[in-house]
Chain A
Amino acid sequence: MSIMTQVSNLIIPAVIFYVVGYGMVSGVKTYECFLKGAKEGLRIVVDIMPTLIGLMVGVGILRASGFFDFIGVICKPVTGAIGLPTELVPLLAVKLFSSSAATGLVIDIFETLGPDSVCGRIASILMSCTETVFYTMSVYFLAVKVTKTRYTLAGALLSTLAGTIASILLGR
């Protein structure tokens, strides 16, 4: 794991160095550009703020009610057999439909178990490995009025499954 950690720690400084360096060499007004992009970044956060408030309240209510523990108990026989922490079950299900709702669940896991717990690590990796299957399919196919999606769902689910297994193995 220590090599993985070292590589991880290198990535962001390397990207920052490369982008700013390349920008300077190619004569871009780096700071002006940065400010323009940063403004856009702030606008994005303001846009997602209501979503995040709504979803975190939803997830918070569901957790405080004890419902997650109930799901965990129900799923225990299955998840125990394949070595999947029960806390991840709601996340796996919701992630197929909505990435923002899944984000709410991940943050909940960070809050209750911590980002460096096994669940926290698996959840972090899981969220960065695939897109939301049903959401993406509905938006993209709606744009061209396609209703017969043929083998798209099978392929997308297969790739999601592969990513999920990899996340669990790598997150341990």
Chain B
Amino acid sequence: MLNIIWAVMILVGVLYAGFTGHMAEVTNQALASTRDAVELCITMAGVMALWMGLMEIADKAGIVAKMTRGIGPFLHFLFPDIPKEHPARGYIATNIIANMLGLGWACTPAGLKAMGALQDLEKERGTYREGVASNEMCNFLIFNISSLELIPVNMVAYRSQYGSANPAGILAPAFLATLVSSVAAVCFIKWKDRCSRKAVHG
């Protein structure tokens, strides 16, 4: 995906600059951007080190595991048809919590395992269709994309780098916005579930 987006950005930019006579600006900006990127990474390095350090403590102290268990009832609400002991449940929980805490590295592996486990679940049920997403897969991905990130650490870091008077000032509105997108996702999932139940039971 990025291979195309990135190449198109560069090619369109240079061509457009050629037609409108902005070549000098493009040269300056290309060089300035590399410097900006490195400066930004230096700010990011400190923030990420602090955050990941804290999260390592949270992990070792059992806070992450506690949170993962804590969302059990919510998982049951969202995925009523996944059996309690099924491994898919644990992976989904880990994925959601990692997402909430901004632990990108823990998020994707758990999410991919969850997809695999959901596929196994379909096979166990005998309803597996090759290449077709199951209801749970769709629901899990919709909820995942709706993302419930509690603290967008990166954004705070970027804002502070560019001289915001209050870098953390967006945390509360950002939480509300992410809550809205997640609630919309849950409503959609529940609506789809009801449709498919009606289709099965006639």
Contact = CB atoms under 8 A, between A and B. Distances in A.
Asked whether A and B interact, the reply is: yes
B185 A155 contact: yes
Interface of B: 1-2, 5-6, 9-10, 12-14, 16-17, 20, 22, 25-26, 28-30, 32-34, 36-38, 40-41, 44-45, 48-63, 104-105, 108, 111-112, 115-116, 118-119, 130-133, 137-139, 141-142, 144-147, 149, 151-152, 154-156, 158-159, 161-174, 176-178, 180-185, 188-189, 192
Given A111-B162, A136-B141, A67 B61 contact: no
Nearest to A147: B131
Given A52-B40, A115-B162, A159-B188, 14 more contacts: A7-B172, A8-B166, A12-B151, A33-B56, A38-B49, A97-B5, A129-B180, A131-B147, A138-B1, A144-B137, A148-B131, A155-B139, A158-B188, A162-B183
Contact of B145 (A34, A54, A133): A133
Given A9-B168, A152-B142, A56 B12 contact: no
A59 B30 CA distance: 9
Contacts, number: 353
A118 interface: no
B66 to A, nearest CB: 9
A130 B133 contact: no
Contacts of B45: 41-42, 45
Interface of A: 4-5, 7-9, 11-12, 15-16, 19-20, 22-23, 26, 28, 30, 33-42, 44-45, 48-49, 52-67, 70, 94, 97-98, 100-101, 103, 106-107, 110-111, 114-116, 120-121, 124-141, 143-152, 154-156, 158-163, 165-167, 170-171
Contacts of B144: 131, 136, 140
Contacts of B12: 62, 65, 67
B138 A152 contact: yes
Given A19-B58, A131-B144, A64 B184 contact: no
Given A60-B32, A110-B159, A152 B5 contact: no
A49 B132 contact: no
Contacts of B154: 103, 127
Contact of B174 (A64, A103, A125, A145): A125
A62 B36 CA distance: 16
Nearest to A112: B162
B61 A19 contact: yes
B181 A144 contact: no
A58 B6 contact: yes
Contacts of A147: 131
A115 B56 contact: no
B128 to A, nearest CB: 11
Contact of A115 (B34, B37, B163): B163
Nearest to B24: A64
